[in-house]
Structure 1
Amino acid sequence: MEKYHSELQTKKLNIPAMLAGKKVLVAVCGSIAAYKTAFFVRLLNKAGAEVKVIMTHSAKSFITPLTLSTLSKNPVLSTFEKDDSGEWNNHVDLGLWADLMIVAPASANTLSKMAHGACDNLVTAVYLSARCPVMVCPAMDLDMYQHPATRTNLQKLKDYGNIIIDAESGELASGLSGEGRMAEPEHIIEFVEEFFSRSQSLKGKKVLMTSGPTHEAIDPVRFIGNHSTGKMGTSIAMELVSRGAEIQFVSGPTGHYPKHPSVQVTKVTSADEMFEASKAYFADMDIAIFTAAVADYKPKTVANSKIKKQENDLDIILAPNPDIAKELGAVKMNQFTIGFALETDQEEDNALKKLEKKNLDMIVLNSLRNEGAGFAHDTNKVSIYDKHNNVSHFELKSKAEVAKDLVDLLERALNE
C-alpha cells in the first residue's frame, strides 16, 4: 500500500478545478480494492469536492470507516441507525444530496443487488433513492467478472442509465492476472471530470418533452391506446438533465417517469390534454422533443356509462386528434424541435415527409420490422434525419445509449 501511495505521489495528476463544490457520494463494497477508495476519496477532497462515504458491512473487513472519515472529512455511514441513539440515517436525503454517486469498488454481490432492485443495506437503499447519475466501478476476480450473470447485471445497470467504469487488467488478489481490477483512482477522476464537463453543456436550456401513450376514452371503462411504455422518453430526459437541461415532461399513462429535481412531470391521459399542456409550456422552451405515441384518433362521442355487450357489431365513429408536433411546429419561433416516427412500411419516406410536414429540425425513425426495437423493449434501433439532409444510422442499442446518441447530435446541431 505504501508503494501504491508513492506511485500516486510521483504522478502528475491534473485534478479538475470543476470539481470544486461538487457533492460526491462514494459507496464502498466488500472488495480488496477498497484500499484504492482511500486514495480516490483523497483526490476528490483535494480537488475541492464535498465527499460523503457510505459502506456495506462487509466493506469494513477491508478498510476502516475511520480511514475514510478522516479523508472525506465527514462521518462514514453503514447502517440505517445512528449508533444506539435510535436516530435514522436517511437514505433518501443522501440520494438527494449528491450531484454524483460512485460505487467503488462494486462487488459482484452488490452489482447483482443493484441490477435486481434488492434493498437489504444502506448502500443499495441509497442507490434506489438516488436521483443523481450513478457511476459503477466493478472489482472482482477475472472469472467472476466474465461470468454471464455479471455481464448481464452490468448491462442492466447500463440500461438503467448508470455509467460503468470498466474494470482494468492486471494482477488480481487471487494471484491470477487478467481483467477485474477496479479502475485506478486517477482514471476514475478522469471519468468524473468528463462527467461534470459534459453536465454543463446544456445548462440553462429548457426542454419540453412528450412521452408515453395517450388513452382515448370510449366509455368510463374502455379506451383506445397503444403499447408505448415511455422508456425511450425517460431515457432521453435523464440524458438531457445529466448535461444540465431543465425538462418539462408531459407524459401519458405509463409506469416510467424520470425522477430528477430538474424534471417537472405533468401527467395527462388524452391527446387533447397532452396538447393543452404542451402548448402552455412551448413558448418558453428552447427545445421540444416529441417522443409520445399520440393516438391519431379518438371516439367522436364518449359514452357516459359502460357500454354493455350486445350480439350485434359495435360501430365507433372516430375523430382525428390534434397533431401536437405539427401544431407547435407551425408556431415555433427559435425552438429546436425533434419528432419520432415509428413505421412499418416505407419507413424512410414516411419519416422524411413528417420531418417536413411538422416543421421539425430532426426526426428519429425506428421500425417495428427490427427485432428489439419499438414499444416495450429496453433496446432500440434508430436512424436520425435532420432538415439539412444529414442522416445517422445506428445499430441496436439500449435506450440509454440511443438517448446519448440523440443528445450528442442535438448538441452538435445547436453549436453549428
Structure 2
Amino acid sequence: MEIRPILSTLLRSKTAPLLIAAQVALTLAIVCNAVYIIKDRLATSSRPSGADESNSFVMAFSAARPIGDIESMQRRDLEALRGIPGVAAAAWTNQVPLGRSGWNTGGINTDPTANQPTDIQSAQYMSGDSLIDAFGLKLVEGRDFLPEEITVHDPEKEAPPLHHALITRALAEQLWPEESRYAGRQFYNGNGPEATPITVVGVIEQLQTPWAPVNPLRAESSMLLPRRYLDDYSQYIVRTEPGQRAAVMREAEKTLLALRSDRVLRFTRTMDQVRDRRYAGERLMAGLLIGVTAFLLLITASGIVGMSSLWVNQRRKQIGVRRALGARRVDILRYFLVENLLISSAGVLAGLLLALLLNDLLVRELSLPRMPVEYLVGGMVFMWILGLGSVLSPAIRAAAVPPAVATRTA
C-alpha cells in the first residue's frame, strides 16, 4: 500500500488528525509520568523498615497529673509487659520507625576540626533497653550496648554525655564511604573542640527513620543511643511471638492501665497501622493517579473511535468506489489501520518530547529520580496498540460495506 494517498487525504482535512495526534501526545506524556510516579510511590510505601512489623505494636501513655517516679514507672511497666505470655521483647523508646515524629540530629561528621559542618543527618532512637531485641533488628557487625554504657537523662538536669552508639549501615556508608568495617570507629555530633567523640559499637542492617523520606539514604540514616529518658510521656514497643500480637495487645492495655491511675492511654497501634498512617498520602496519590490514568486512556480511546466512525461515514462513497474497482475488504481495513498508525506516530513523537519536559519538571519540583527510558518505550508501544485497537471496529465496519450500498447512499 502506498502511503502517499493516505497523507494526501490527511492533509486535505487537517483538523481531525491534528486533534487525535494532540490527544495521543498529551495522553502519552501524562500516562508515562503517572505510571512512573505510581510505581515509585508504591515502591516507597512498601520499603521494609528493618523492624519486625508483623509481630510488633506500640503503645503510648500521657500523664494525667505530674509523675515523680518516672524511672521506676518505666521499669515496672516493662516488667509487666515482659511477663505477658507471648511477649518476645519490650522496650521504652522515644520514637518508632515510620512514626512521623521523633528526634533528629544534623551536622554529624568524622572530623570535628572541619570548617564546614556536613549535611549528614540521623534519627536518634533512645532507650535504656535493647531496641535490637524490641524492634527485631538485624545486627551485622559489633554488639549491642552493655548495661554500664546506658545513661539516664532527667530533662530537668543537664544531659550526661553519650560515648557509644549503634548506627545503621546507611549512616555508616555516609560517614565512611571508602570503608567496609565500622565497629570501633568514632564520629562527632557537631564541630569544635567541645564535640564529644561517639564510638560505634555495632552496625544495624536497616532501620528507617520516623519520617522515612523518599531518599533511601536519608530514610535509613538512624542511630541507637543508650539513654533512658525520664519523660512522663511513655512509649513502649512490644514484639510478640508469631500469631500472638492481637491477644498480647489486649492484655497489655489491661495490665498497664491497672498499674496506675495517674496517666491515660494515648493509643495502641500495630506497626502495620503505623506504616499505613505514614504512607496514607502516597497510597492516596497512587490511587488518584491510577483513576486519572484509566479515565484519560478511556477518553483517548473513545475519541479515536468516534473520529474514526465519523471518517467512515464521511467516506462511504470513496470506500464504495474502491471496492467497485477491486479493492478487497482487507485493503480497506489496512487503509484505515495505516492511517491511524501515521496519526498515532505523529502524536507519539510529540508525546515523547512532552513526557521528557514533564519529567524534568517533576524531577525539579518533587525530587524524583529521572524516568527510565523503559517507561517511554512502553508508553509508545501502548499508545500504538491503543490507537490500532480503537480504530479496528470502525475499520471493520468500513470494510464490510458493499460497493453498491456505499455508492448509492453516499
For normalisation by structure 2, the TM-score amounts to: 0.20
Name the larger-Rg structure: 2
For normalisation by structure 1, the TM-score amounts to: 0.19
Q: Which has the higher helix share?
A: 2
Q: Which has the higher strand share?
A: 1
> Larger relative contact order (C-alpha < 8 A, sep ≥ 6)?
2
